[in-house]
Homo-oligomer: A and B are copies of this chain.
Amino acid sequence: MRKKNGLMVGIDLGGTSMTAVALNGRGRILASRKRSTCPDLGPEGVTRRIAATVRKLLNDLGTKSKRVQGVGIGAPGTVDPEKGVVLYAPNLSWQDHPLAKMLGRLLSLPVTLDNDVNGGAVGEHALGSGKGANNLVAIFVGTGIGGGVILNNRLYHGSYGGAGEVGHIKILADGPLCGCGRKGCAEGLASRTAMERDMRQAVDSGRASRVPNIMARMGRERMTSRVIQEALREGDPLMREILQRAQHCLGLLVASLVNLLDPDCVVIGGGIADRLKDEFLEPIRATATRHILRAPHLEPVRIVPSRLGDHAGSVGAAVIAWNRLAGINPTES
């Protein structure tokens, strides 16, 4: 059971970096650590690196570290939450890695595993902008597009643990190639990677943009959220055009999700949403609203920005671990 005074560690494991937080029983973050993942270390090396990060976090907590009851971790890929095994994580080149067991042994703490974006959805639902929603869909836009689905106040995993792949809902039949190798996915149209591809193609074909200069000036190899923000600030028309196209596609994605699942809340997060805030969200909301099918007197769905930002995944991983310690079915949030 959740001890009144207890703390929980939550970890969001990404392909490039990991974030760890220590959360108290009222959902406050008492300490946090961020560190690169170094996937080249392989599954066991990365697991040891996670353990080291948690130890640093415990150190930051000082005497409070004794109150830590367990660890929740979200991994980027398909997981078996009951067995604590990462089944398949293409970003890390992992297959069938017993992460929870190994990390638990290294830390002598109970470890709960789920998917990283599922964690993000749970975080926003429990402690972020989705608070109070019964049914919620979270969409995180970054190098890819991930998401999570909360139904009847519980995280929904699907029949084989694969639910929530909002980035691979088709938006444009036979459209541009997605990172998954298929055509027409939302991720291939509206992720930061897709926008960067569109920018490169346009610039290569001779269109003018300040983006290459901004990237050089900032010393960035990729079109990061900060680059996008700066290009918009400088009034770059091509950047605006590419962003608008992505926002239109995201609006159609939101409408599709609402027409299927009729949630009371859609949360939109990820680096670009966190940085651009309403400038990112408002056009998505406008397109979605036009395409949502609604009987005349039904409540409108809330379409809101993430509130936990970078911490949604780690906070959510801790919440999942807490619910699990409290005896709630491990395949639910």
Which chain A residues have a beta carbon within 8 Å of chain B's beta carbons?
77-78, 87-88, 95, 133-135, 149, 151, 156-166, 168-173, 175, 180, 182, 184, 189, 248-249, 252-253, 255-257, 259-264, 290-291, 293-299, 301
Q: Cα distance A297–B96 when bound, in Å?
A: 10
| A293 x B170 contact (CB < 8 A) | no
A224 to chain B, nearest CB (A): 26
Partner of A157 from B77, B161, B255, B262 at Cβ < 8 Å: B262
Residue from the set A160, A171, A189 with the largest chain B CB neighbour count within 10 Å: A160
Contact B151–A156 (Cβ < 8 Å): yes
In the complex, A261 Cα to B137 Cα: how many Å? 12
In the complex, the answer to whether B170 meets A256 with C-beta atoms within 8 Å is: yes
- The binding surface of chain A is classed by DSSP as loop
Are A293 and B162 in contact, with the CB atoms below 8 A?
yes
Given contacts A169-B259, A260-B169, A295-B87, contact A134 B159 (CB under 8 A): yes
Number of identical protomers: 2
A82 to B286, CA, bound (A): 32
Contacts of A184 in B (CB 8 A): 252
Chain A to chain B contacts (Cβ below 8 Å), 24 pairs: A77-B295, A87-B295, A87-B298, A133-B159, A134-B159, A135-B159, A151-B151, A151-B156, A158-B261, A158-B263, A159-B264, A159-B301, A163-B260, A165-B259, A165-B262, A169-B259, A169-B260, A170-B253, A171-B171, A171-B173, A172-B172, A173-B252, A182-B291, A257-B260
B260 touches A165 (CB 8 A): yes
Residue of B nearest to A147 (CB): B260
Which of B162, B175, B295 contacts A295, CB < 8 Å?
Answer: B162
Q: Which of A77, A156, A162, A175 has the most CB of B within 10 A?
A: A162
In the complex, residue of chain B having the shortest beta-carbon distance to the beta carbon of A248: B173
A261: chain B residues at CB < 8 Å are 149, 156, 158, 163
Partner of A290, one of B182, B293, B301: B182
Please, how many angstroms separate the alpha-carbon atoms of A161 and B161 in the complex?
Answer: 26
Beyond the given pairs A133-B159, A134-B159, A160-B295, 8 more chain A to chain B contacts, judged by CB atoms under 8 angstroms and listed by A's residue number, are: A78-B298, A156-B261, A159-B299, A162-B262, A162-B294, A165-B259, A168-B259, A182-B293
